[in-house]
Amino acid sequence: MSWSDLPAELVAGIADRITEHVDLARFRSVCPSWRSASAEHAARRRTPLVLLPSQSYSRVDRRLWSPANDSITETPMPAACGRSFLFASPRGWTLGVANDLSATLLQPFTGASESLPALPPSFHGEYEKILRDMVWDRSPGAVMISPGKGAFFCKLPGDGGSWSAAGSSQTAAVSSITYDDGTFYLLDGRARRVTAVDAATFAVTAVVEPPDLVSPRHAWCTPESTLVVSSGELLLIVRTHLLFQVAPYGSGGLFKVFRADSRSLAAGWSEVAGGGIGNRALFVDHLRGFCVEVSGLNGVRRNCVYVASSHEMVNDDYGLDVYGRYTVSVLDLDDLSTQDLSYGNLLKCMCGSGLLGSCQVRADPNKTLLCRRK
């Protein structure tokens, strides 16, 4: 009898006694039968965490902050050691990129990895800017990336392969890439236009034009857009930063959520109103977002949007000691009230100069989202 043959009731009982998110993630990674048997317990415990970038990418331990109880814990992530840049995906893997632009798929909790071809030549131009703004996602059979304009794909496994341009999307601006159910969705955040690309043929299958929206008059509060795929629909979040800080001279910020049915994209967008997003919560930063079902036990507020952001802070009189400061705000869609969650442990947490970016990780090896920029 092997470990995978343990009765499902016994496995579920063990999972119920695991208190740490990372331990539960590793427990569920042992085999498919353990993952299936512990699914109900994991759904109750699935709490988003914020992964804080380390002061040195040579570190093995990484810090995780829980918005539910303001706790910061450290967990070993050996697969991330030595990677200058880590980029997110809700698929449970991260994309690690070294200084020579060699690329590797990494599983932050289990330590699994898979080699990819070095990034395409177009990534070598504006090195810092491209790696800061690069977006990507993966399907079961391919990886798609973009340096901000156009998109490239590589079929898995990546050893010995190469990157190829993805359809006519090669001429378009791309601010985020999201995969769901056989389709990659490419968002042009400024134009708020979404391009659907078939994950098998890499041909463009649909273009969703932007919703009707009256933008703010002032250039200093240009709206920012984020795309989230959830429960068979696309959610487009359009907001200005003014909503998450004190608005000057009494002017209000802009916040709108639109939905589109992924099965009938031709119907376009409709504004989310009334019940909002229901028993769900959205977690977003300036690159991407993901959705969490609210269980009542995981410390997440329903019908809310959690927004992670970052800024630099000078910590001495000469301007030489610069740190990264991380903030998280929550917006209640019922009344559009906001609350700053950057208190306690998160308020005291600082990282080295240049390691700016919000990093979000769902405590589940199949649901990881993080955005780290050196």
Residue 358: which CATH number?
2.120.10.30
With b for 16 or more beta-carbon neighbours within 10 A and e for fewer, the 78-110 pattern comes to: ebbbebbbbbbbbbbbbbbbeeebebbbbbbbb
pLDDT per position as a tens digit, 182-233: 999 999 988 899 999 999 999 999 999 999 876 655 555 667 888 988 878 8
For the CA atoms of 238, 240, 246, 248, what is the dihedral angle to 10 degrees? -130
32 domain-assigned: no
Residue 17 lies in a domain: no
The type of residue at 73 is T
pLDDT at residue 209, as a whole number: 92
Task: Answer yes or no: is 132 within a domain.
Answer: yes
Q: DSSP characters for 298-316?
A: SSPPTTEEEEEEEEEEE-S
Query: What confidence category does residue 359 fall into, taking pLDDT thresholds of 50, 70 and 90?
Result: very low
pLDDT at site 345 = 75
* Domain contains 25: no
How many CA atoms lie within 13 Å of 310's alpha carbon, on the beta-carbon side? 29
pLDDT at residue 89 is higher than 80: no
pLDDT in tens, 2-41: 778 889 999 988 988 887 766 777 788 888 898 888 887 7
In angstroms, what CA-CA distances link 310 with 81, 282, 349? Answer: 23, 18, 12
Residue 318 has pLDDT above 70, yes or no: no
Q: What is d(CA 149, CA 188) in angstroms, rounded to the nearest whole number?
A: 9
Confirm whether 358 is domain-assigned: yes
Q: What is the 3 state secondary structure string of 323-341?
A: EEEEEEEEEECCCCEEEEC
Cβ proximity of 197 and 205 under 8 Å? yes
317 inside domain: yes
pLDDT score of 57: 57
Between 326 and 232, the higher pLDDT residue: 232
Domain containing 173 equals 46-372
Angle of helix 8-16 relative to helix 21-28, nearest 10 degrees, comes to 160
Indicate the number of domains in the chain.
Answer: 1
Task: Write the DSSP symbol of residue 149.
Answer: B
Output the six-digit token pair for 177.
């890439």
Q: Where are the alpha helices (DSSP H) in the chain?
A: 8-16, 21-28, 32-37, 39-45, 127-133, 344-348
pLDDT band at 73 (very low <50, low <70, confident <90, very high): confident
For residue 264, tell me if it sits in a domain.
yes
pLDDT at 133: 75
Does residue 330 form part of some domain? Answer: yes
pTM, two decimal places: 0.77
